Copies of this chain bind each other. A is one copy, B any other.
Amino acid sequence: MEKDVDHAGTAPLVLHGYWRSTASWRVRIALGLKGLGWETRPHDLRSGEQRHADYVSLNPQGYVPALEVAGAVLTQSMAIIEYLDEVYPEPALLPQDAVSRAQVRAFAQVVACDIHPIQNLKVLKMLKARGFDQQATDAWAAEVIETGLAACAELVRDCDGPYCFGDRVTLADVLLVPQLGNARRFGARFDFGRIPAIEQACNALPAFAAARPEMQADADG
């Protein structure tokens, strides 16, 4: 595949995010694993900064994260991470063979499609607007997270190695670890199969440690 090599590396990468945003957390991990430098532009989701006109002009959806690369604004965390993996191929976040790539992507998509969207702030706000109280929205989130993480555990049950799919960190680990942060936040179980051991192995790596929400400059507690 053509890689725009002149383009990569000539302009600073600018990450629009929020310390507590799970999807921003994913991108921070990937940037760190690739050994890239980047500038951070925080947008406080609680006060709606992501809907300010100057940000919406960059990302019409008004969501974080977005990554500015020279001349383009990339959105959607998995698409951003696959971009980084194509333009900065080492260390690879996807295996070489097509079946293994599909299995790693499927695990990532259980998190990104089947868990996270159904328990994120936007949906919990929709529930609250319909009369759910805090306890009811927490229970909703916990149910979604537990069902999804149990499926994740099953997908990697027979794999060896410290990480989801063996000896190398993949896109699957990048998606899993922030989701476990949300599990804690909502009091969801996450002690399924190899999941806790995988988290421990990932968090021993500098890129994962530095990406944690509480390590971000805009974190407030």
Q: Quickly give the copy total for this chain.
A: 2
**Are A83 and B102 in contact, CB atoms less than 8 angstroms apart?**
yes
| Alpha-carbon separation in the docked complex, A3 to B112 (Å) | 26
Instruction: List residues of chain B with CB within 8 A of the CB of A101.
Output: 1, 82-83, 86
Interface residue from B7, B96, B110, B132 paired with A61 (Cβ < 8 Å):
B110
Name the B residues within 8 Å of A114 (CB-CB). 61, 63, 117
Do A154 and B61 touch across chains, with their CB atoms under 8 A apart? yes
Please judge, given known A-B contacts A74-B106, A113-B113, whether A4 and B86 are in contact too, CB under 8 Å.
no
- Give the interface residue-count category, chain A: 35 or more
Give the B-binding residues of A (Cβ under 8 A): 1-4, 7-8, 60-61, 63, 69, 71-72, 74-76, 78-80, 82-83, 86-87, 96-99, 101-103, 105-106, 108-110, 112-114, 116-118, 123, 126, 130, 132, 136, 140, 143, 151, 154-155
